[in-house]
Structure 1
Amino acid sequence: MKKYDGETKTQGENDVKTYKVVVPPKYLVVVLEGVGVVKLPSMLDVSGTKYEMVSAIKKSSGWAVSLRSESGWVSIEDLQVKSQSSELLFLDKNYIVVWRLSRE
């Protein structure tokens, strides 16, 4: 993310560029590669812009998705839908995590 701070210079083949995010995106989708179990924050602060985690896609015995609902977290795997504690959300290996721009 430092590449997009408006100050860090990126060397190209024939030029030097700087990048800056002018309007924060509504969603941040992060793909985690080659990591184990990682405790991720439910709220993410990116240069003063706050994002709330809304989904985590994971794999244990099969693929599953955890989604934030109005009443908490639910886990969906195949045809099984179960409520899930936010503390247990990170016990499996997450591959893709989605944060949404906070409404606060």
Structure 2
Amino acid sequence: MLGGMSAPTDTPLEMLARVAQGEQARFEGRNLRVRRSAIVHAVRWAPWLASLTLPAPACGQGWSGTGVGELHAVAETVTCSNCLASPTARAGAAPVDSAHQIALPLQLR
């Protein structure tokens, strides 16, 4: 241990619970995007460790990588055809607040 540092007092389970709580807060009322994909998925809460849950694409789409850092919470409409085809996934999709959408200066004839 480095000088001036104290030993951690949290158990591994407490540390994992904080990760899960942080992800729940980050995805509250949001849909998700995997990495830089253009596809937006509804969120389902997938079992993780010790009965904790983490966000995952509601359609079951898998991804490879390091885990939670691969998923991005977005305030965008679900575009995944599998999520849109599933009543359960559609029910879990977060509504998009139109106030956060950019108005385009279009003049329609």
User: TM-score, length-normalised on structure 1?
Assistant: 0.25
The structure with the largest strand share of the pair is: 1
The structure with the largest helix share of the pair is: 2
